[in-house]
Structure 1
Amino acid sequence: MDEETRRNWEIITTPPGAEWSGRARYAAAMYFCQRGDMAPEVLEIYRICSRLDAEDPVSVLRRWKLGEAWIARLEAFRKGSG
């Protein structure tokens, strides 16, 4: 994995709560969507959550039953990097 991709994985897995974290996660989500790694409807959830730093977009995806493939990729990254 190249450095830019690794950095975007780190950003998109930023825990909710930190100031500007929602916007940072959204920027990383745009990166993954442009690469074709994320569905547009998943990106839309990240966009909605971008101004809500305390909101976890993955929790929203689960509640709305969207983005199962994306959630699986996130979980695989977290297991592999932790």
Structure 2
Amino acid sequence: MEKEPDSEALVQWEIITLPPGIDWSGRARYGAAMYFYGRGEMDAQTLEVYRYLARLDSEDPADVLRRYRIGANWLEKLGRYGG
């Protein structure tokens, strides 16, 4: 069972679920991805997708993860909590 997110986790969750197309959103999502990776909630392969897309504000990381069939656990979490 997952623990209740703390206030910092909630802020980072809002950032990582920013919609594509917002200026600097890719970089912001990557920063939040590093936060979740550091907490052990994201694997290295998934983090690498966020890193690669950091300069591509219009790309949706979830779409890329699905396309390359990686990050299943992270995609499940996104689906559960919205994003």
Q: TM-score, normalised by structure 1?
A: 0.93
Q: Over aligned residue pairs, what C-alpha RMSD do you find?
A: 1.0
Please list every run of 5 or more consecutive structure 2 residues that lacks an aligned counterpart in the other structure.
Answer: none
* Aligned structure 1 segments of 4 or more residues deviating by more than 3 angstroms: none
1:26-46 Cα offsets, whole Å, 9 max, x none, are: 000000000000000000000
* In structure 2, C-alpha distance between the alignment counterparts of 1:68 and 1:3, rounded to whole Å: 25
3-state DSSP of counterpart to 1:27: helix
Q: TM-score scaled by structure 2?
A: 0.92
Residue identity in the other structure for 2:33? A
Sequence identity, in percent?
53
Total equivalences in the alignment: 79
Unaligned runs of 5+ in 1: none
Matched residues in 2 for 1:75 and 1:13: separation?
11
Taking the aligned partners of 2:81 and 2:11, their CA distance within structure 1 comes to 12
Q: Distance in 2 between matches of 1:37 and 1:2?
A: 14
Return the structure number with greater helix share. 1
